[in-house]
Chains A and B, each alone.
Chain A
């Protein structure tokens, strides 16, 4: 194995993501079947797996420069062949935002779930329009798409906290022992702490590349913390004294009728 391989794959962030994925994998497959079918457990696992795949794929693109240059050329980017922003944009800014919106949706009451559905549809349409119209090319930084995604996650967090204040099921719980509360809080911090830096990334990268790297560390550290909370969610049935059960909102017909009574 050459030094480029080590340079690409041996990094504290990537190693942490790999370890967290293994932990998540073990805890997820130790869950009983009915729990594995519950979105409260499989969605965090899906996000964890997805992060593991795209981060390692990102490392591979840094290792295999020819492959990265070919993809860039295919996307029309011959100016910066060493960029792998296309992967970061698709995976981190778009798909992961949608997955987080789906995750938040599982903790909301049925009427608020519908708002999230529309937000996801809106996000998909806007991002594809911005990308294919050339306003924000896929191979360059996408501050508008990031800002829209971050705002949607912030609005979804607002909906979650509103539900926490008004829903009787949430009022009967202790939020500090609810994993959804901690996931939501960390998501809120991640998006708010990286908001300004991500939106002004191009400017900062041109003028202060070292500062960008420092600010990027915040994103990485928050990313690790978020994944840790996701693992806690998957492993939560093993620690019943530590965490409270989530108030799950079913959308089936009979429940709707009962609530209408």
Chain B
């Protein structure tokens, strides 16, 4: 074999080697893709089951809250009204009996209202702005602090799952504010910026050191819950300067 023949063989074998290498590469890629696909499917199933678990927890929490509220209403409001109705209906005076009947009508209305709140159908029918408005009104009526709601008209609606999570997260944020911040004003803003919907919960309370707060599980839960609906939770606070919470969701 002369040197030029050698070179020819080198060229031919190199070409065949490169071709073989590419075939192996492509086949390997297909196999790895299959493996990763299976892993990814497993991960997606896990995320899905976590999402469902979170939703179930939230539904349970809301139902627990509702039941406590119904219990309080039965005891403080309906119980009182029934006692009054009984008292007036037992009276011999016709005007008192008429008043007793009025009370009965009021009780019927109250019971109807309570029965509606026992299942979660109200979540579907209520708009988020409405719910926030009701919550702020409740806070205001306790005269604990002043409240303010700012919402743009085009804020849009949410599917039930997302709304449930948002309702629970907002409730939790407001509870925390009332419990720890001692604010004079709680302000909620519903905005839209660059295709992202933002819910800002701002208070002028005593604020806190966010580095210390991150150790707690409450904040972690809120973050995790927002992530299950594809959103983001962010918080900024400084001692003496209040707290600002932002809930972000893609439009």
Contacts and interface: CB of A to CB of B under 8 A. Distances in A.
Contacts of A257: 194-196, 250
A171 to B, nearest CB: 4
Contact of B230 (A168, A170, A207, A261): A261
Chain B, interface size category, equals: 20 to 34
A3 interface: no
Q: Which secondary structure characterizes the binding site on chain A?
A: helix
Contact of A253 (B29, B194, B249, B251): B194
Contact of B195 (A170, A185, A254): A254
Nearest to A185: B26
Given A164-B29, A165-B29, A176-B30, A258 B22 contact: no
A189 B11 contact: no
Contact of A188 (B26, B196, B251): B26
B41 to A, nearest CB: 8
B4 interface: yes
A249 interface: no
Contacts of A188: 22, 25-26
A161 B29 CA distance: 7
Contacts of B33: 164-165, 170-171, 175
Contacts of B26: 185, 188
Given A197-B15, A257-B195, A192 B248 contact: no
B80 interface: no
Contacts of B4: 207
A217 interface: no
Contacts of A261: 196, 230-232, 248-250
Given A165-B29, A261-B248, A196 B15 contact: yes
Contacts of A168: 40
A171 B236 CA distance: 37
A197 B195 contact: no
A19 interface: no
A193 interface: yes
A168 B37 CA distance: 9
Contact of B30 (A175, A203, A208): A175
Contacts of A166: 36
A258 B195 CA distance: 8
Interface string A195-208: 11100100110011
B14 interface: yes
Chain A, interface size category, equals: 20 to 34
Contacts of B21: 192
Given A175-B33, A208-B8, A258 B250 contact: yes
Interface string B1-39: 000100110010011001101110110011011001100
A175 B196 CA distance: 34
A255 B203 CA distance: 32
B8 A211 contact: yes
Interface in A3-59: none
Interface of A: 161, 164-166, 168, 170-172, 175-176, 185, 188-189, 192-193, 195-197, 200, 203-204, 207-208, 211, 215, 253-254, 257-258, 261
**What 3 pairs across the A-B complex have the smallest Cβ distances?**
A254-B195, A192-B18, A258-B250
Interface of B: 4, 7-8, 11, 14-15, 18-19, 21-23, 25-26, 29-30, 32-33, 36-37, 40, 194-196, 230-232, 248-251
Given A171-B33, A192-B18, 12 more contacts: A164-B29, A172-B40, A189-B19, A189-B22, A192-B21, A196-B11, A211-B8, A253-B195, A257-B250, A261-B196, A261-B230, A261-B232
